[in-house]
Chains A and B, each alone.
Chain A
């Protein structure tokens, strides 16, 4: 079960969080723009896309921005199993016209971070993102929030990220270390290219410790704690 694992806290001094600060800084350098809508997607399931998008959203919320995390993955039966409250309705109800956006958004899920969850829906899912309602929904969110983060299903499972990229500023691609075949990634990239999506960049996730230290050269984390103390 995908768990909404937000560990980016304001008072934490974990070296792992530096990775998300780097991601946040790079996102700022890429495009200095107000009221962004950013899509997070990946190639295959279990690459860690939800965790990356949630913690990236949290890292922006910590700076004082007004952020909303939207779960556009309606295909999963039980999304965000870590939530304490029971999800009665989600984004699919808004797109079907059954609910209004204000009734569905979870306010102050974290400080400065709202959450628009989703609920499992059978059949006709892709068509939800092809109507006018999704456009109105995203434009409304863009006006109200400083940052809108869309968590979408993997591209080999569904092309929702490509469809939604029409209304977004850019796509962040999450790649699990030693998880994706080259051919699959190429196929996913072509899907995004055909949709004329703007790819901001790639986040490589789940790098094992030895590789992270030896081959990627990130051995500073061993000295991070003592450095902070001094």
Chain B
């Protein structure tokens, strides 16, 4: 009785060891064997990334700063906390008005541009500066001069709009947009790095797919399992004979 149990236990353990486990070394060998395929798959992706990085155009950003203030003349003794607090709250409201379509339409008409209001709104950025009375207007364009011009025109139309809506003048230009001299960074290195990683991932994925779809036998364990007997010898390809002596 005990002997039978022991034999059964041994068989059970042996069968466990024979389960289909993908070992780490098998995966490494798949990669080693498929390195040419991985390189060839990665190259198109990397080339596309490189072309994209090289052909990115220069883009310029122009900035203008506006301020919400009352029409009164301030003096040091006359500073009113309530007044300042009210102005800071107006900044948030004004930020929404800045992007209205009527402003964009007026700018387009004035400068005779062949653009849609939505196009300008996309490239326009209106940023309230927290806990201050300042609003920043910025516009990005491929043309540096046009970027500055549009920023200033939007600022002007913005002030007129506020004048109509609020019936008083409390918005002023602190600093006009000047023509930017430097383009925004193109991030070429980042694009190349990302395309390299993506390319290698595509290559590795294809290699593993081909490997697992591969139906021709390679491993001695698989062959032994199918035939139900052991491997008597492993004979290398005869080209190896060149490395030896005759």
Contacts and interface: CB of A to CB of B under 8 A. Distances in A.
Interface of A: 5, 7, 12-16, 19-20, 22-23, 26-27, 30, 48, 51-52, 172-173, 175, 177-183, 185-186, 189, 199-212, 214-216, 218, 221-222, 224-225
Nearest to A9: B246
Closest 8 CB pairs of A and B: A23-B233, A201-B232, A14-B244, A212-B236, A26-B232, A205-B235, A19-B235, A22-B233
Contact of A202 (B33, B215, B231, B245): B231
A207 B229 contact: no
Q: Which of A13, A200, A204, A218 has the most CB of B within 10 A?
A: A204
Contacts of A16: 235-236, 238, 240-241, 244
Given A26-B232, A181-B216, A186-B226, A209 B240 contact: yes
A204 B223 contact: yes
Contacts of A172: 232
Contacts of B232: 22-23, 26-27, 30, 172, 200-203
Given A23-B232, A204-B223, A207-B237, 6 more contacts: A20-B235, A26-B233, A203-B235, A205-B235, A215-B29, A218-B236
A225 B243 CA distance: 9
Interface of B: 29, 32-33, 215-218, 220, 222-224, 226-241, 243-246
Contacts, number: 132
B212 to A, nearest CB: 13
Q: Which of A177, A179, A211, A222 has the most CB of B within 10 A?
A: A177
Overall SS of chain B's interface: mixed
A185 B227 contact: yes
Given A183-B215, A211-B33, A225 B236 contact: no
A179 B223 contact: no
Contact of B234 (A19, A48, A189): A19
Nearest to B32: A214
A189 B217 contact: no
B228 A189 contact: yes
A179 B215 CA distance: 9
Given A186-B226, A225-B244, A178 B233 contact: no
